[in-house]
Amino acid sequence: MKTAQMMLDDANAAVPRISVEDAKKLVGKADVLFLDVREPSEVAASGKVPGAVAIPRGLVEFRACPASQAHDKNFDKAKTVVAYCASGGRSAMVGKTLKDMGYTKVMNLGGFKGWLDGGGPVEKG
């Protein structure tokens, strides 16, 4: 049996981190998908990375799967996916799940606060 911490450790081992500085260089690139996996209320309160697709963690598998009726066309296995959440835990778990689903270029930006503290741009609304 695995604990939540063991699952998080596995996810962190599987999904590389990307620094705010490196991530800022990827904003607006057509071959990069910024994925905000926080809840809608969190995104509404603080904004998001410009152009990021906001999908709560619990729906990512359905949006990322091309065979799903709920598939989101922003997901493309050729793109680099940069996931983030509030503190980095949910985005690590999502990153691992996406890798399990065949996405090969997945990175964890960590927490949105780190993005803000690092001077990352923010899109409101």
Task: Identify the residue with better confidence: 24 or 125.
Answer: 24
Q: What is the pLDDT of residues 60-96, one digit of tens each?
A: 999 999 999 999 999 999 999 999 999 999 999 999 9
Report domain extents, the chain: 4-117
Task: Please provide the DSSP assignment of the chain as one string.
Answer: ---HHHHHHHHHHHS-B--HHHHHTTTT-TTEEEEE-S-HHHHHHH-BSTT-EE--GGGHHHHH-TTSTT--TT--TTSEEEEEESSSHHHHHHHHHHHHTT---EEEEEEHHHHHHTT---B--
The predicted model gives 46-70 an average pLDDT of 97
Query: CATH: 3.90.550.10, 3.20.20.190, 3.20.20.70, 3.40.250.10. Which one for 4-117?
Result: 3.40.250.10
Q: What is the pLDDT of residues 5-28, one digit of tens each?
A: 999 999 999 999 999 999 999 999
